[in-house]
Structures are given as structure tokens and as C-alpha cells.
Amino acid sequence: MTTHLTQSQMEAIEAHVDKYVGDSPMIFHEIVSDQLHIDILHVPPSAD
């Protein structure tokens, strides 16, 4: 089974992380595999 997220679903996930975890100014995109795509949202530490 293959699951693909739409652009709006990916944006909703990023908005959720920004709201509840913290601002994610950097996103690492997996670029090697042609069968798997992983995005890592980097949220730096904060005083909170």
C-alpha cells in the first residue's frame, strides 16, 4: 500500500507542529530515494 499526502495535508502538519511544538524554520527533505520521501521538521530548543 502506498500513501501520498497532498500539499494541503503536508501544510496542515507543518502548521500543527508550528502551533503546538514550535516554529520549524528548517525542513530537511529526503532526496535520495525514489520510493520514499521523508521530511524532517527541525524545531530548535527554546526557553519554554
CA–CA separation, 35 and 48 (whole Å): 38
Model confidence pLDDT, tens digit, residues 1-48? 567 888 899 899 999 999 999 888 888 888 888 888 888 999 998 887
Amino acid letter, 45: P
Backbone angles phi, psi at 23, to 5 degrees: -65, 135
Check residue 2 and give its pLDDT.
Answer: 62
CA–CA separation, 5 and 23 (whole Å): 21
Amino acid letter, 19: K
Cell numbers placing 10: 503536508
Question: Helices (DSSP H) in the chain: which residue ranges?
Answer: 7-20
38 close to 30: Cβ distance less than 8 angstroms: yes
